[in-house]
Structure 1
């Protein structure tokens, strides 16, 4: 029997709230009538609050990716 897994997400408004190893999603707003679309998901590797960038190890590609917080919203996944 499989157990259903539920995830809880919390929007991160300041990069300083993130720590190495946190699981996050980057979401892009596609329009006023649509929900945000998850474009990246992975573990935080490094943050640069001064320039609004978070680097993650992307689960889909297995590569290190930069997320610009001016272009998308960041959500912690728990």
Structure 2
């Protein structure tokens, strides 16, 4: 029997809250009537809070991707 594990997702308000290895999602708002859409998911590699950018190792592609917090919201997945 396999137990389902529930993921706990919390919004990251400042990049100072992130650490290397944290699992995060980047979400984009598509409109007032819709939920945010996950556009990237992966583990944090590096952050630059001064310019609002976090780099992740993208889980889907395996490539390093930059996420700009001016364009999307960041959520920690635990």
With normalisation by structure 2, the TM-score equals 0.97
Partner of 2:10: 10
Q: Which position in structure 2 is the counterpart of 1:50?
A: 50
Q: Return structure 1 stretches of 4+ with deviation > 2 angstroms.
A: none
Coordinate RMSD, CA, aligned: 0.5
Measured after TM superposition, the shift of residue 2 of structure 1 is: 2.1
**Counterparts of 1:4 and 1:63 in 2: how far apart (Å)?**
28
TM-score by length of 1: 0.97
Q: 1:1-78 counterparts in 2 under 5 A?
A: 1-78=1-78
Length, aligned pairs only: 78
Unaligned runs of 5+ in 2: none
Give CA deviations for 1:9-68 in whole Å, capped at 9, x if unaligned: 000010010000000000000000000000000000000001000000000000000000
Any gaps of 5 or more consecutive residues in structure 1?
none
Alpha-carbon distance in structure 2 between the residues aligned to 1:5 and 1:37: 22
